[in-house]
Chains A and B, each alone.
Chain A
Amino acid sequence: MKQTFARALSLVVAIALAGPAVAQDTIKIPNIIELSGGGATVGTNWKNGSSMAVEEINAAGGILGKKIELMFVDTATDPGKARAGIQRAIDDKPIAIFGPIYSGSVSATLQMTNEAGIPQIIGGEAGNLTTQGSKYLFRTSFGQNVSMPKIANYIRDGVKAKTVSVIYVNNDVGKGGRNAITKEFESRGIKLGADLSTEAGQADFAADVVKLKAANADAVFVYLNEEESARFVIEAKKQGLDKPLIGETTLLGQKVIDLAKEAANGVKGHVGLTVDAPIPAVAEFAKKFQAKYNYASDHNGIKGYIAPYMIKAAAEKAGKLDAKAIVEALHGLTISPDKTPGILIEATWDETGEIDRISFLAEVRGGKQVITETLPKLKK
């Protein structure tokens, strides 16, 4: 018992002393992200992206003369652990907190940063995150409340579908997306065909494709993770499902194309953020990322990459490295690549932390994502 107790005590002492003193000329920014568990891929992309950005910023002299140092805390894709991680970060009173990326973990933590008055730069895309009254939340990618109306418009005007079937992955993001898109369909008079829930990691989509064929809607909206998207697309081709397959970002990503090969050809949809975007800065980012980490970044890598640049632009506008000042500067701020090349694509944040920037309509042709149309920002 003595031994155990001594061990426990030393452990607790270590926890107590863990908050490292902030050195004079480095600014610490904690990243509370998914480095193990179900979200490990997503979190690792974010970690690599943000690390790369910070290296660049530091090499160019830092932010307002101060070097940035990132700290990484693993949430293990568990909202409870995310909360502990955010609390640990808040105790140090940082100028900003990055993460989490999974919407569930963001939901669990956004009130904490709101109370502490620290900007939280998140990767979560669930629509309801920005409606919970936090003044300190900032997205790095479209919420479903922005991307789904764009998709619905495209289905109505581009695809001209009257009925649409939906197949989605049953987790917080997939279900949230499904709810958002069906609402948009309703308001546009588009009828819902089959409404299919699938599991994360599902291997066999044969039965789902049979149901989709039976429903015979004008188009199918596919909202699955990368691997599952590829499996689904292959199965749809095999069974001769000849309706247009419409997706959001993931379905048109390089990973799906690599996995599904020619079966991916003909897939269409909306792309919010992608390394395949026809923008030189993004292509340059993709090349640097590939060279540094030896694999291709996904959109989470880009989200992580722009987060430090958001802080840089906001702090430079505010003229000081202070949490409250950064938040004030970020609300209504438009960051353009002319002044801050690291932002990649011009983006604007509104009072709720929602991001606005251009996005793309694309199609997979000959094993490549081809951008067919660039959609303007919602507000000019």
Chain B
Amino acid sequence: MTWSRLQVPVLVVTVLLLILLPVDMTGIEIPWPGLRSYGSLNLTRWLVIAVAAMGVNLIVGYAGQETLAQAAFFGIGAYLTAIATKAGIPFGLAFLGSAGLTFVIGIVLGFPALRVQKHYLAFVTLAFTIFVWLVFRNEEWLTGGVSGIQGITRPSLLGLSLRPPLYFYWFTLAITAVLMCLMWWLIRSPWGRAFTALRENAIRAESLGIDVRGYKLLAFAIGSAYGGMAGALYAPLVGFIDPSPFALAPSLLFMLMVVVGGSGTLMGPVIGAGIAVLLPEWLEVASSKITSPVLQHLFSYLLVYALIVMVMMAFCPTGIVGLVQRIFTPKRRPHADDKGPTIGTATIPARGKP
């Protein structure tokens, strides 16, 4: 069994489990009490952050660019949705508006920014993040300044209010699934192939007739739009936004998620977001149950979290998905079948099959 064959069934089962996870099933003879509101709320946060991380993954993992601006796009989506829904505009329109606006800003920022490479590109996006954060903070007439925007309501769907955490979780799960399928389609489309080509070797890609600049811009703008859509979901989830979650540090965290999860893989950012959102929560819950004060200090969740991330970076730089792939892919280096037939072998395995 190879990883690529497992991917689809595993994905389907995972989505099914995610739908049922918070539901109390003791009524139908399954010993699973479901999750309480706290669990649903955290799962929703995880999905929202995962959508933003998927955007970063497209830019960093597939197109080989850098971005420290995802928190800014996340914020633009959140503020636009908050302001729009408070003004009575339906959530659906606000969501699409957030996607559109961040896409356009992505192009406008990317046009000059993508002329430079690597660290310089990171610096340009970093400057953009700080600029956007200052706008959030200082343009009080629009964003409420440091006091933020309060009382952002959750939308309703076909007359059903999404206020209960469980319903909003399902809603977010559905949107995340759609966005994930879109991403899956995108990276298998000619566009996605072009992204990968320019990541691997931009000069060669250009010599093959790929419009390097155009594709870089496209990857950057789509990735940024994912940030905007995640922000549009974040605003009604939290119900209150102020500039702090959209500063520089969260942008770095988005990068960390992609790298820890496995950059350039579909599941990488989702798993990375899980580690960034769910693992600290769980560690904190776990450490709060320890009664001995000495052990509690040792189990201080920040410490454990930092350690896990460091160990992971040291021992699986390809991220968790890379680690899993290594486990599931049979080692075939000792056999020379990659180099084609050798003298005296009767059977030649077809390429790509074990």
Instruction: List residues of chain A with CB under 8 Å of any chain B CB.
Output: 1-5, 8-9, 11-12, 14-16, 18-20, 36, 38, 71-74, 77-80, 83-84, 87-88, 90-91, 103-104, 107-108, 111, 126, 128, 132, 170-172, 174-176
Nearest CB in chain A: distance from B37 CB, A:
5
CB <8 Å contact, B39 and A20: no
Distance in angstroms between the alpha carbons of A80 and B253 in the assembled complex: 15
Nearest CB in chain A: distance from B335 CB, A:
25
> DSSP majority for the A interface?
helix
Given contacts A71-B288, A79-B240, contact A87 B148 (CB under 8 A): no
CB <8 Å contact, A73 and B288: yes
Nearest CB in chain A: distance from B130 CB, A:
12
CB <8 Å contact, B38 and A104: no
Given contacts A80-B45, A172-B147, contact A16 B34 (CB under 8 A): yes
Distance in angstroms between the alpha carbons of A77 and B245 in the assembled complex: 10
Contact with A along B145-179 (1 / 0, CB 8 A): 11110110000000000000100000000000000
Nearest CB in chain B: distance from A104 CB, A:
5
Residues of B within 8 A of A88 (CB): 38, 285
B50 interfacial by beta-carbon distance below 8 Å: no
Given contacts A16-B36, A74-B284, contact A172 B146 (CB under 8 A): yes
CB <8 Å contact, B278 and A11: yes
Given contacts A5-B14, A84-B38, contact A79 B238 (CB under 8 A): yes
Residues of A within 8 A of B145 (CB): 175
B41 interfacial by beta-carbon distance below 8 Å: yes
CB <8 Å contact, A72 and B41: no
Complex partner residue of B242 from A9, A79, A84, CB under 8 angstroms: A79
CB <8 Å contact, B240 and A176: no
B109 interfacial by beta-carbon distance below 8 Å: no
User: Which partner residue on chain B sits nearest A112 by CB separation?
Assistant: B239
**Stretch touching chain A among B87-95, B222-230, B320-328:** B320-328
CB <8 Å contact, A87 and B302: no
Nearest CB in chain B: distance from A241 CB, A:
26
B105 interfacial by beta-carbon distance below 8 Å: no
CB <8 Å contact, B279 and A84: no
The 9 A-B residue pairs with the shortest CB-CB distance in the complex, in nearest-first order = A108-B240, A88-B38, A18-B285, A91-B36, A172-B146, A87-B38, A175-B146, A104-B242, A87-B41
B282 interfacial by beta-carbon distance below 8 Å: yes
Nearest CB in chain B: distance from A101 CB, A:
14
Residues of B within 8 A of A12 (CB): 21, 35, 39, 43, 278
Residues of B within 8 A of A80 (CB): 45, 234, 237-238, 245
Residues of A within 8 A of B281 (CB): 15, 84
Nearest CB in chain A: distance from B46 CB, A:
10
User: Which partner residue on chain A sits nearest B249 by CB separation?
Assistant: A37
CB <8 Å contact, A78 and B244: yes
8 A Cβ contacts from B299-354 to A? 301-302, 320, 324, 327-328
Residues of B within 8 A of A126 (CB): 147
Residues of B within 8 A of A74 (CB): 284, 301-302
Residues of A within 8 A of B138 (CB): 170
B274 interfacial by beta-carbon distance below 8 Å: yes
CB <8 Å contact, B239 and A111: yes
CB <8 Å contact, B41 and A84: yes
Complex partner residue of B282 from A3, A14, A38, A78, CB under 8 angstroms: A14
Residues of B within 8 A of A2 (CB): 324
CB <8 Å contact, A83 and B244: no
CB <8 Å contact, A36 and B302: yes
Residues of A within 8 A of B241 (CB): 79
- New contact pairs (9) apart from A4-B324, A12-B39, CB-CB < 8 Å: A16-B35, A79-B241, A79-B242, A83-B239, A84-B45, A104-B147, A171-B146, A172-B242, A176-B147
B33 interfacial by beta-carbon distance below 8 Å: yes
CB <8 Å contact, B35 and A11: no
B101 interfacial by beta-carbon distance below 8 Å: no
Distance in angstroms between the alpha carbons of A74 and B35 in the assembled complex: 21
Nearest CB in chain A: distance from B127 CB, A:
17
B286 interfacial by beta-carbon distance below 8 Å: yes
Residues of A within 8 A of B21 (CB): 12
Residues of B within 8 A of A83 (CB): 41, 238-240
